[in-house]
Amino acid sequence: MKEQPESSKLPRKRKGNYGSFCCAAGCSNNSAMSLARVSFHTFPKDKEIRKKWLIALRRKDFEPSPSTQVCSMHFEESCFKEQFAGFLPSVKRRLYPNAVPSIFPAFPDHLQPKAEKKRKTATAAAAREVDFAAFCKSIESSEPEAPVAAKEDEDPGPDIHVNCVPREEFDKKVRALKNLRRRYRRLLSTHSRFKKSAKAVEILRRSLQSKYRKIRSLRSKHRQIKQRAKTLKDVIRELRAKCILNEAAASRLNFLTSDSLLSSILPSKITKRTRIFSHEVRKFASTLHFYSPKAYAYVRQYFQLPHPGSLRRWLSNAKCLPGFCEQAFQELSRRRSSNDDRSFDYCNVVADEMSLEAMVQWNSNEGSFFGYVDKGDGKSTDQEATSALVVMAVGLKSYWKLPLGYFLVSGVDGEFLSSVVEESIQRLYQVGVIASSFTCDGTQHNIRAIELLGARISSPNEIVASFLHPCDPGIQVSAFLDLFLDRPKLSRSCSPAGLTGVFAH
């Protein structure tokens, strides 16, 4: 019975997931070691060959499972057959069906296979001493001579038997040897070229895969853009259906849209390097953001529109200091002269007071502090402003609104409000816009300002809800009190007597 290797040389149980590993005694090769040209082979299904494998492994009471494998280090090179996939050799090395493992370095010396030693005979030693090349050359250069009998007193020497082959067969073998050498050199050069080509092919294959992934990503983005936003008017119609924009704003934006605008705000047209927006895009973006910042944020998800910070920076070119804004009146004059439908002829003047946090800040553009009471007359005070009085013009024939100015105050009285409203009506009249009405909250100082302008609404018995236009006495300016929008402010700021009179009105 053949001796078995020591138990200490058997492969131990491996911890962790190593994938494929060799089951031979003393071998620790596994697929996690990334060894070059080392492959793993399962036991053959043929019973005879399988039995030979078990005998070669010399493991007592060992029964391999379907996943048990032996690495290629235990097979001779002659046991493998090269397989080609196209022009490149296959990564997976294949065994011949009758291959049996025979190399086991971990076995003891007496179990290692012994090399066969050839016997040394006198005839073989004498044959090795013969110069075969010189012998062949002498055969080619000499002619056959008649045999000469040896003399009786001469020693014939050792009995040497040389097996000579025919010349034609010898020449044939020489030519075959030369052809084999030539083919071997050609295969070596071809193999080196194959290695370089295989490396280049692998690099190109990885580059091609990355390009394919990029193309798929771009196609997916293109499909999403086509599905989400077909035209700009569809987006405006969707905003109108969601009640984010009113009818007037939707009609105004539809009037501003065009094919050139749509082509210039598509995401594929503007890259990070070309952030230059045309005047048409700036006009559309400013109008949409003015009507609804929420709608602007929604549209900006699908189209390449300027950031809201850019819009604020563009609109901050006008000097909006406390007082009346001259740019607003100039814009009204330009719109009225260029508009044929006379939608800027009549407007409503709205005045309201908004609370502010008392704070003083440094204005680097103007080189002064900002936050004190400033009524636009150039007089500086040390009192911090707590509110802002804003005056706005709203169109009556079409939907438009434009801030005319603001004033930083610390409480508004009726005299100051009446002077501001009168000045606003006069400035509008100078640019060709007639203020036919005035709207404000129903607070006590607002009622006082309306009465100073010429109307009478404090007494329920004598109500005159209009006053004469400061520039044209033939025009009546109606006065409206907005009671229902700011009723909490009304209840805080009105006295009980004034509140009774207002609700009676």
Burial class (CB in 10 A: 0-12, 13-18, 19+), 17: exposed
Distance, in Å, from the CA atom of 428 to the CA atom of 325, rounded to the nearest integer, reads 12
**What are the pLDDT digits (tens) for 388-433?**
999 999 998 888 888 999 998 888 888 888 889 999 999 999 998 9
Find where tokens 């204005």 sit. 363
pTM of the model: 0.41
> Contact 324/376 with Cβ under 8 angstroms?
yes
Question: Tokens 């290629």 map to which residue?
Answer: 72
| Element housing 480 (H / E) | strand 476-482
d(CA 101, CA 359): 91
Cβ-proximal residues to 379 (8 Å cutoff; 6+ apart), any chain: none
Separation of alpha carbons 200 and 216, rounded Å: 24
Q: Which residues of 107-134 are buried (b: 16+ CB within 10 A; e: fewer)?
A: beeeeeeeeeeeeeeeeeeeeeeeeeee
Residue 324 parent element (H or E): strand 323-324
Residues 461 and 62: their CA atoms lie apart, in Å, by 118
pLDDT digits (tens, 9 = 90+) for 291-324: 778 888 888 887 778 888 888 777 665 567 788 8
3-state class (DSSP) for residue 36: coil
Per-residue pLDDT of the chain (505 residues; tens, 9 = 90+): 445 544 444 445 444 445 788 998 888 888 877 666 788 899 999 999 999 999 998 888 888 998 899 998 899 888 988 665 444 444 567 889 899 998 888 888 777 777 666 666 655 555 555 454 555 555 445 444 444 444 555 555 555 455 566 778 878 888 888 888 777 777 767 766 677 777 787 888 888 888 988 998 888 887 776 665 556 677 777 777 777 777 767 776 766 665 555 555 555 544 554 567 777 788 788 878 877 788 888 888 877 788 888 887 776 655 677 888 888 888 888 888 876 667 888 999 999 988 888 888 887 767 778 788 888 776 767 888 888 999 999 998 888 888 999 998 888 888 888 889 999 999 999 998 999 999 998 888 888 898 888 888 777 777 888 899 988 888 999 998 886 555 445 444 444 433 333 332 3
Residue ranges of domains in the chain: 7-111, 229-317, 322-505
In three-state secondary structure terms, 481 is strand
Q: What is the DSSP string of 80-126?
A: EE--EETTEE-SS-EE-TT------TTS-GGGSPPPP-----HHHHH
